[in-house]
Chain A
């Protein structure tokens, strides 16, 4: 437990110091989105890595959080700080309700059902034009602010977003080490065995589903208030798949893995920009290579790689 806390403090210190290194260049802006994607990846990882349940529709919860918060604060003049928690509660309750029938499904049926759920939400964002602005999007969403401090610059939104992300990390670390975390791992390994041990597996799964939806919704609200513009295109099936990729590439069941996955997949396109039209091919190829050579994700693969390199170096010396 102490080691975990120490690790977290180190990580937090690194995150808080990062802006000093970037001096307000555009990468600051990209790092803001790394924060949002980290939250999303952690939310999905809770479900996929800890609980063993796949979701191909998490972009829907992300979008729902963004739209609820965006519409309430823009069209109805709510204070964003009130709109955000309300959105989270609504999304969480919705996830809780659909969680019961959906999580009864297994394997590819679950994949298909969550995919359908995501697509239905996407269509609703597109079609309820009077409310959401439809495919042209919703603009003029207010920034979050505290007193006279408006979170509208890259640096201020960086600290805003990352304080939420760090809080999410702390929460999930705690959860993973608690009774719930142990029950989750039991469900992941064998649902039947867990049930025999007195774990209410079904309720637990639904609760985690709802929690992960709440995290996605919060990330969505933050996204809306940072971008000040949202459109359905950001919340489609492709983004659900991208989130899934972040979680797997980072490492299933690892919180910091989710950060690594989110950071890599958000930053990679920026670095590949130099390759111009070839970026998409390199991106696809890298994804495949990473799964091939780091099947346990970055969080296990990178230390492994180092160890092997060191060992080789050591062998040569001997």
Chain B
């Protein structure tokens, strides 16, 4: 009697397992984020939001009945590790698509692997080289630096500013910004009158700012990620600089105001809309996505969901879209990704095509300013 019960239970159990497996083999997605190391300010929020959104998708029943399975590896921001782990995701974990890596350097290192093994890669880093020229298997969600630079210059042109000094951090983020700042200036009738850099771990930038003060530019543009720009803001205050200070989307978070304190007042940056989600008009097509994302992230991690976290959110949602439209293998997912039209994500509204794997337009950035210890939209 007992044996019969047990054996029928076993049969029943295996039937359930078998049907579950048949009905919905999970779709494996790989992710490479710089969760530790110097770029952890990118990788950690990216990992958090990717996990969050995958869990939510699965809780809602998955995509077309398939659960998503996310395999995340930490690259520590190291290009060599990123390549090894990309190989691991493809060869051992057999994923159908890869999200990340977090930094441009790692992305450039991983691209040959994805191209060779025919696996779609949705990079979360900003470097323009990633999708220009267009590579068959490579997409990205982070806004190009070109757009951020363009947004600042557009404003400066409006205010008839001609002479700017630039101060950029000597890492991948800063050097890409520096290149764009110099390349685009002429188009807006702007001259870059001085070009200084600082190290990512430097603790005092008064020397550079003193030099800039001597040159008397109409505006200073600083390109970096925390904490460098906060130090610069404080140093500028110490020196009593009265020149308008612009920074990059690299400091687009409340964290920056917290670090720079009063010195942040009046600083302007181009930012993804997520920073000012609550202030956007109802008519904004991204508003719905943005508010959901900000609230979810706050609930899960008790922290501010910044636009870096948004890059991974967008990447997962883009993949979800591609799978919904019929992508079920690496090749078909790629084809469907390319057919993404008007997806209102966190970073902007994405429309990919055979000639554009970055997918964002000028409206991805708004210009914001620190007023009364908070970010407000510059009209």
Q: Which residues of A contact B (CB under 8 A)?
A: 24-26, 29-30, 33, 126-127, 129, 134-137, 139, 152, 154, 227-231, 233-234, 269-270, 273, 276-277, 280
Contacts and interface: CB of A to CB of B under 8 A. Distances in A.
B316 interface: no
Which applies to chain B's interface (DSSP): helix, strand, loop or mixed? helix
Contacts of B77: 233
A25 B104 contact: no
Contacts of A134: 170, 175
A136 B91 CA distance: 27
Given A26-B88, A273-B73, A280-B36, A135 B80 contact: no
Given A26-B92, A136-B175, A233 B79 contact: yes
A29 to B, nearest CB: 4
Interface of B: 35-36, 73-74, 77-81, 83-85, 87-88, 90-92, 104-105, 108-109, 111-112, 116, 127, 129, 170-172, 174-176, 179
A33 B84 contact: yes
Nearest to A127: B170
A230 B80 CA distance: 9
Contact of A227 (B109, B116, B127, B129): B109
Contacts of B90: 26
Contacts of B171: 135
Contact of A136 (B36, B87, B112, B129): B129
B132 to A, nearest CB: 12
A137 B87 contact: no
B81 A29 contact: no
A281 to B, nearest CB: 11
B129 A29 contact: no
Interface of A is mostly: helix
Contacts of B109: 137, 139, 227, 229, 231
Contacts of B105: 135-137, 229, 231, 233
A26 B79 contact: no
Given A25-B92, A273-B74, 17 more contacts: A25-B91, A26-B84, A29-B87, A134-B175, A135-B174, A136-B104, A136-B129, A136-B175, A137-B109, A152-B116, A229-B79, A229-B105, A229-B108, A229-B109, A231-B108, A277-B36, A280-B36
Nearest to B73: A273
Contacts of B74: 273, 276
B87 A139 contact: no
Contacts of B35: 277
Given A29-B83, A135-B171, A234 B78 contact: yes
Contacts of A29: 83-84, 87-88, 91
